[in-house]
Amino acid sequence: MHRFYIDSSAEGCDEITITGDDVVHITRVLRLGEGDEIIVCDCVGYDCLCKVVRTCKDEVTAKVQSREKNNAEANIDITLYQGVPKGDKLDTVVQKCVELGAVRIVPVAMKRSVAVIKDPAKKAQRLQKIAHEAAKQCGRARVPRVDCVMSFADALSDASGADLRLLPYEAEKMSSIKNVLRQSNDVKNISIFIGPEGGFDPSEVELAKDRGFSVVSMGPRILRTETAPLAAITAVMYELGDW
C-alpha cells in the first residue's frame, strides 16, 4: 500500500489532511480517489491506515481507520558520512542505505574525491527526494535526512558527539568491525565514514584516529566505495540493531 509522511502527530485524529507534492502524487500519478486506502505515517512514528474521503487541487483528506506503531526504525541511529564518489553512485548509496536503516547521510568532500558537487543545495534536494522514495518503499517510519556536502574537517566535528565512530579502511589488518561492534555496549548512535573511489588519504585516517575514531577492517576483499557503506550498515544492524 502507498505510504505518505506528515509532519504532525495523528494521535486522536479522525481525519488527516495531506498537502504539498503528495497531493499531485496521490491524485494524478497514482489516481487514487474516494475509498482508496493509503498509509499515512505521522511524525511520532505511527502508521495510520486511512481511506481517502475527499481530494481537491491542494489537499487530500483521509479518514483514519487504525493507527499502530511502526517498527521499522532500529534502536540505533546510524549516520553515514560518504566520501563523494563519481557519477550517480551517491544516488545508489542513499537509496540502499535508507533501506538498510541509516537515519542520516552526509556526503563528504574527501581528498581523493574526484567528483565535485557543483550545486550542493540542489544535489542535497535531489538526494533527499531519493531518500523519501526509498523510505516509502521499504516501510520506514521516518524519512532519513540527507545533508549538503561537508568538508572532511567539518564532518569530523559533526560526528564528534556519536557514541561510536567507525572508519572502515582497507589497510587496517588488526582491528575488525566485528570485534569493535561486539565490544560496544550502550551504543545509541554510530557514525560511519566511508572513503571515495581511491580510498581515504592516510592523513585523513590519522586525523580521524586522533579524534577517537575506530579504524576497522571489513574482511580481506577490497570493497568499492558504493558497496562498503551497505556492508558496514548491515554489520551494525546485524550486531546492534534490529535484525
Q: What's the rounded Cα separation, in Å, for the pair 8 and 11?
A: 9
Q: Quick check: 12 binds a second copy (CB under 8 A)?
A: no
Stretch 172-211: interaction string toward a second copy, x if CB under 8 A: ----xxx---------------------------------
Q: What's the rounded Cα separation, in Å, for the pair 242 and 210?
A: 31
**Closer of 52 and 218 to a second copy (Cβ):** 218
Instruction: Report in angstroms how near the CB of residue 149 gets to a second copy at its nearest.
Output: 24
Instruction: Report in angstroms how near the CB of residue 100 gets to a second copy at its nearest.
Output: 7
Instruction: Report in angstroms how near the CB of residue 101 gets to a second copy at its nearest.
Output: 6
Q: For the segment 32-91, give every residue that binds a second copy (CB under 8 A).
A: 71-72, 74
Q: Quick check: 171 binds a second copy (CB under 8 A)?
A: no
**Cell triple for 227:** 558497496
Instruction: Report in angstroms how near the CB of residue 92 gets to a second copy at its nearest.
Output: 8
Q: Distance of alpha carbon 11 from its chain centroid, rounded? A: 26
Instruction: Report in angstroms how near the CB of residue 223 gets to a second copy at its nearest.
Output: 5
Stretch 134-153: interaction string toward a second copy, x if CB under 8 A: ---xxxx-------------
Q: Which stretch binds a second copy (CB under 8 A): 78-86, 121-129, 170-178, 184-192?
A: 170-178
Instruction: Report in angstroms how near the CB of residue 1 gets to a second copy at its nearest.
Output: 12
Q: Quick check: 242 binds a second copy (CB under 8 A)?
A: yes
Please provide the size of the chain in residues: 243
Q: What's the rounded Cα separation, in Å, for the pair 66 and 48?
A: 6
How many binding residues for a second copy (CB under 8 A)?
Answer: 33
Stretch 210-229: interaction string toward a second copy, x if CB under 8 A: -------xxxxxxxx--x--
User: What is the rounded radius of gyration, in angstroms, for the C-alpha atoms of the chain?
Assistant: 20
Candidates 100, 146, 149, 150; binder of a second copy (CB under 8 A) is 100
Residues in contact with a second copy by the rule CB under 8 A: 71-72, 74, 96, 99-101, 137-140, 176-178, 217-224, 227, 230-231, 234-235, 237-239, 241-243
